[in-house]
A and B are shown apart, each in its own frame.
Chain A
């Protein structure tokens, strides 16, 4: 078989997986040409990734919630409310940042457990339970910002989370104007990725599993390496990696690991695939429902922290519609509404697709009304694509 045919075959077999990446690439190429390259400029990409951060962490948590056949509508205003609590803790209670962050994250966990209670213990549909949460946290946000209105956060360390960049190696004289540490991290992750892939491939070969042919394997490595290096190069041209991106990648990495490598992850997907069978297999479905909603609450807190520190303030409408963006990102990223299927890495790509659309259309000067319509259509197309490739796969 010729090389091209091989590529076509691989693409065809994995349309669903690669489809998302290709779509993201197409969106990037499209906006880059439409904006004469401004879209792909270091500054814009850096901004775009920072904007993705607070949605992406929500989308990661939401992935698990949807996988176990639930939904959480309360996360947007919960994020807004907890962002405000962080501001209050610093401004009014004068607590240091190192205390505020764990404090707010724990509040998030508690909030998630509270949402889980009626769902797991009383069998209330999560749509309803979390809709109640949506109203309650919206009210709570307005309540705590009632006297002050927008709370300005004067804390530099805190604001660095949403606006700062990782430090650079200063005493090197090569590549002026580039962020060296970012480049170094990029190279390290490329090397790690290659090692990891080779190890995986050898493992599979040892079990006589089907693997990509050698040329396809090299092509894939080449492709992923180029993408990673490309992104780091672009970012290094501006301020380097931002803390937001570091946090976002860390969250995705941890959750990816949990979902793919641990017993906990297995159990979560088993519950999504068939709750009754899971229960009879000795899985504590109730407990894991609490765990998943608790993690969602914690990530809502993180989202609230990222957003408030980015704005350097807590506003009265912070978090509005975040839940919808997160849910959309998860669906675009291939999470199945029927439960049991979906990857956190997919949701990250989904979040990137959605913010790229916003960013690109902003640059093109498209007004906000059309932007909503376009994003709605993209969501629809993504889900239709997902469902139809899934059916064909059967």
Chain B
């Protein structure tokens, strides 16, 4: 009997047109934190879905041994029973329900079908203590930030006596404090004998927390490395992941003189009637031609709301203030107006409001600019195909065909489709909201390169990002946003992580 809690042997999983996993072997030692890394589309999520029974026994080939027994899960409920819990990047909580209802959703404490709410609340408090969340268990989940919601997901897993916890990109939507918090918790759980598998594209944090790292590439296991005694560096991981070395994360760009102001916002205020709160106050900023303007800040500081307010206000905020595009005052009544004036907005939440998952790659790419592929309202399908193929090539979107449903692409490739869609409208001012969330190092480099090309052509970019290195690496000028206000402006020369953090948290 070895100390492996999990052994997956020669797992192969095929989708029509793609071999997502090709004889993958993967072993996890009891009580460790095991990180899984690899490029977008390498097969990480698929491997975890095989493990957790999302793809039931029979839909893949190979063997899974868990706790020393061969397992043939026919669904998630089987793997749950065995003690495996998986937490997806898209959280699976019911926003309208309270915290305690969510924690015990699906395994209610009951007697003959009658729920014992007192006991439920009592146990929820214990679970919340375990994840070190000090909140009232009756709080509705929708009132909590993503970081806390993540912890509730973990509390939910703990309430079911989990032995192996799988987290698929848990940190991509978390700020640094929440990340640290989460990692402390994982370390603590480790003390209590819970094993974790963590998928992440943030290699720094991987090195910080992992006991072991396994690298996948193109559906194959490349290597498994011991990360405990500092032998693993970002460089080594990247080399295994992409098969070559990448020295410069941020492609260099000649910081030339910027042109005149092309976009300006004056005294913008916004009130959200749905939650009855002022969300933006006295926003003033400008963007010059050929400039990348970074918007730094913590999650929830109001930057996405700002982007929505500028982009035709589809959320129905009550707005006052002035927006000036190329010297003309504009009052966008809807996103179409904004698009027609040369704006584009790559949303932060690609699944929620970015892409149409049930439609294919080409339809998603062309949707925001059908004019370009139609005449008098009739779509020219041949032209559409031609254009879509071009964009697929330009952004290196990995998909068997452009007729693949976006739903079936890996997270990072979905992000590229999202970007392609907005490049297709040939915008003058491109608003990017967390453009590299969930994207691997190689693809990040590609996206940054595209950004550089755009500004070289005289286009302007507004980049909202919660990752300070990205803000510092790509921006020409930085605005810092905190609680719906702009609390500072820094040129790239004067900006440092410390200064930004200071302004972002005051």
Contact = CB atoms under 8 A, between A and B. Distances in A.
A50 B353 CA distance: 44
Contacts of A394: 407-408
A281 B335 CA distance: 7
B456 interface: no
Contacts of B345: 280
A274 B354 CA distance: 9
A261 B377 CA distance: 9
B355 interface: yes
B377 A274 contact: no
A273 B314 CA distance: 17
Nearest to B368: A281
Nearest to B380: A261
Interface residues of B, number: 36
A278 interface: yes
Given A264-B377, A282-B336, A284-B336, A277 B382 contact: no
Interface string B319-359: 00000000000000011101110000101000011111111
Nearest to A281: B368
A232 to B, nearest CB: 30
B370 interface: yes
A279 interface: yes
Interface in A252-306: 261-267, 269-270, 273-274, 276-284
A263 B379 contact: yes
A340 B363 contact: no
Given A262-B379, A264-B377, A340-B358, A282 B335 contact: yes
Contacts of B421: 281
A273 B359 contact: yes
Contacts of A207: 382, 385-386
B335 A280 contact: yes
Contact of A274 (B355, B382, B401): B355
Contacts of A274: 353, 355-357
B374 interface: yes
Contacts of A209: 401, 403
Contacts of B370: 263, 266-267
B100 interface: no
Contact of A277 (B334, B354, B407): B354
A263 B368 contact: no
A103 to B, nearest CB: 27
B18 to A, nearest CB: 13
Contacts of B378: 261-263
Contacts of A341: 358
A226 interface: no
B311 interface: yes
B367 interface: yes
A340 B382 CA distance: 23
Contacts of B352: 276-277
Contacts of A281: 335, 367-368, 421
Interface in B394-433: 401, 403, 407-408, 421
Contacts of B357: 273-274
Contacts of B382: 203, 207
Contacts of B363: 266, 270
Nearest to B337: A282
A263 B374 contact: yes
Interface string B178-190: 0000000000000
Given A266-B379, A282-B336, 11 more contacts: A264-B377, A266-B370, A269-B359, A270-B363, A274-B355, A278-B367, A280-B335, A281-B368, A282-B334, A284-B334, A284-B336
Interface of B: 311-312, 314, 334-336, 338-340, 345, 347, 352-359, 363, 367-368, 370, 374, 377-379, 381-382, 385-386, 401, 403, 407-408, 421
28 contacts: A203-B382, A209-B403, A261-B378, A261-B379, A263-B377, A266-B379, A267-B370, A269-B359, A273-B356, A273-B357, A273-B358, A274-B353, A274-B356, A274-B357, A276-B314, A276-B352, A277-B347, A279-B353, A280-B314, A280-B347, A280-B353, A280-B354, A282-B338, A282-B339, A282-B340, A282-B368, A340-B358, A340-B359
Interface of A: 203, 207, 209, 261-267, 269-270, 273-274, 276-284, 340-341, 394
